[in-house]
């Protein structure tokens, strides 16, 4: 099948590479010439395990091409995926300007009947806007499909190649047949392709992300209560997660969710509700809890040292800057909030992350009081305490004797519950985690 993917960011590049790997001819289009030039040199603009190898393989065999020409992509394709960004607008809604600009360009470039697929995360009603925008520019027939993505950063290739389900909202049986054919190679384990109306598909994406975000915020609230009543959230999590009606997924407490999806999508869902006269109280509360949770670790630090003023002049090591492991994405990352708070209190920071150093530095800047250090142990050198923000495997099994030896004080504030309480006690650390009893060194 001849496919074009408009937008070569995270979703577009993964989709284009995986479609090419299944035997399709794919043209990836992006208006940024520097990004296209880099891709043509074999450079991948994002960190995603396995993506570089797939892009390289399919470029060599001629199934994957890159261009800045929207017209070239449209005219050489039967199916056109829109995978451009939908950043958060000032009122919390999704900004559709990029999507609609692409739709207008598609309409102006069409030379025949096309199937246009919304792959970007967009609110209910976007497909209708895309269709009307295209139809204002052309007399050729167009079928606008909603095909939301459910990729986890750090596991996107596996998620695309072996999806637990594929959701498509279609306006016609012809569009449904094409989407079935396109996804057939990825559904050989009989996982379902769910064909539905377009608004339902658009709604499914937001509802799914809001549900996952709800589980995270709920567990963070339970963790806060556990700390007050002397319970252990690890035991509580197992106690409720083994209920088959609940399950274990997304029940880990921490310092809040971040990334490009959950924060933006929950807020966009709330805004959609407001626009239609529905007050989404649960979704609103989920976002409020998450915002507070990003500040919870520094709150523990203030309580431990006695006041915010006592943090002034102290040096803290920070392990983990990405919003989650196996990615260099720092969008809405809890580390941004935590580092900002600590610097505002007059502390100095030594920060480290296996992949997100460059993206964090671009976002956060070269600020006074912050040092970027590649080596984890060096980032802990001489610190008053270590702050753990991202659950990278690199941080899970340190040599605790070596770690304690380089720290000024053996104090750890763990926002991801990486270590067992018994282990911390045995190694003589003062240890604070999320929803569990604290450990005090002797």
Structure tokens, 421 = 């309480």
For tokens 């709800």, what's the residue?
214
Distance CA(123)–CA(95), nearest Å, equals 10
Give the residue from 282, 296, 301 showing the smallest Cα distance to 226.
296
Within 8 A by CB and 6+ apart from 90, the residues are none
φ, ψ for residue 160 (rounded to 5)?
-75, -45
- Cβ–Cβ < 8 Å for 27, 3: yes
Cβ burial, residue 346 (10 Å; 0-12/13-18/19+): middle
DSSP assignment, residue 379?
H
DSSP for residue 308: G
3 state SS of 115: strand
Backbone angles phi, psi at 70, to 5 degrees: -60, -40
**Residue found under tokens 């890159």:** 66
The reply to whether 18 belongs to the active site is no
Give the burial string for 396-431 (b: 16+ CB within 10 Å, else e). eebebeebbeebeebbbbbbbbbbebeebeebebbb
Q: Which residue, among 49, 3, 286, 298, has the nearest Cα to 151 in the 3D structure? A: 49
Question: Inter-axis angle of helices 198-229 and 126-135, to 10 degrees?
Answer: 150
CA distances (Å), origin 364, targets 291, 330, 335, 428: 18, 10, 10, 34
Residue whose pair of structure tokens reads 């989650």 in the numeric block: 324
Catalytic-labelled residue, pool 18, 28, 226, 261: 261
Structure tokens, 159: 């998620």
Q: What is the DSSP string of 39-83?
A: HHTT--SS--TTHHHHHHHHHHTTSEEEES-HHHHHHT-SEEEE-
Q: What is the C-alpha end-to-end distance of the chain, expressed in Å?
A: 67
Give the residue numbers marked as catalytic: 261
């Amino acid at each position: 099948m001849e496919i074009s993917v408009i937008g070569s960011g995270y979703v577009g590049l993964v989709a284009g590479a995986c479609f090419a790997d299944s035997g399709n001819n794919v043209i990836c289009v992006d208006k940024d010439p520097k990004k296209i030039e880099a891709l043509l040199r074999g450079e991948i603009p994002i960190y995603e395990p396995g993506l570089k190898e797939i892009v390289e393989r399919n470029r060599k065999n001629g199934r994957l091409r890159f261009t800045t020409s929207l017209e070239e992509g449209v005219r050489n394709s039967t199916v056109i995926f829109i995978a451009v960004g939908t950043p958060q607008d000032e009122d919390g809604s999704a900004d559709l300007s990029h999507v609609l600009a692409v739709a207008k360009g598609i309409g102006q470039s069409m030379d025949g009947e096309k199937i246009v697929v919304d792959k970007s995360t967009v609110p209910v009603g976007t497909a209708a806007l895309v269709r009307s925008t295209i139809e204002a520019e052309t007399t050729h027939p167009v079928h606008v499909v909603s095909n939301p993505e459910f990729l986890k950063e750090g596991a996107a290739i596996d998620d695309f190649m072996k999806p637990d389900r594929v959701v498509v909202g279609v306006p016609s049986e012809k569009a449904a047949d094409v989407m079935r054919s396109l996804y057939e190679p990825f559904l050989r384990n009989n996982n379902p392709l769910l064909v539905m109306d377009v608004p339902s598909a658009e709604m499914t994406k937001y509802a799914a992300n809001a549900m996952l975000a709800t589980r995270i915020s709920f567990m963070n609230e339970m963790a806060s209560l556990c700390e007050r009543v002397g319970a252990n959230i690890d035991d509580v999590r197992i106690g409720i997660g083994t209920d088959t009606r609940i399950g274990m997924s997304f029940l880990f407490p921490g310092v809040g969710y971040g990334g490009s999806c959950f924060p933006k999508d929950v807020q966009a869902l709330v805004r959609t509700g407001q626009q239609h006269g529905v007050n989404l109280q649960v979704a609103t509360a989920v976002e409020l809890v998450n915002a507070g949770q990003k500040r919870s670790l520094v709150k523990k630090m203030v309580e431990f040292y006695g006041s915010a003023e006592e943090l002034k002049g102290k040096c803290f090591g920070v392990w983990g800057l990405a919003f989650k492991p196996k990615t260099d994405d720092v969008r809405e990352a809890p580390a941004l909030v935590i580092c900002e708070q600590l610097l505002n209190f007059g502390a100095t920071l030594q920060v480290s992350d296996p992949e997100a150093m460059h993206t964090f530095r671009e976002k956060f800047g070269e600020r006074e009081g912050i040092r970027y250090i590649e080596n984890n142990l060096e980032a802990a050198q001489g610190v008053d305490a270590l702050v753990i923000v991202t659950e990278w495997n690199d941080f899970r099994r340190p040599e605790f004797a070596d770690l304690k030896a380089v720290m000024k004080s053996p104090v750890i504030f763990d926002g991801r519950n990486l270590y067992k309480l018994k282990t911390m006690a045995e190694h003589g650390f003062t240890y604070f985690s999320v929803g569990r009893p604290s450990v005090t060194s002797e």
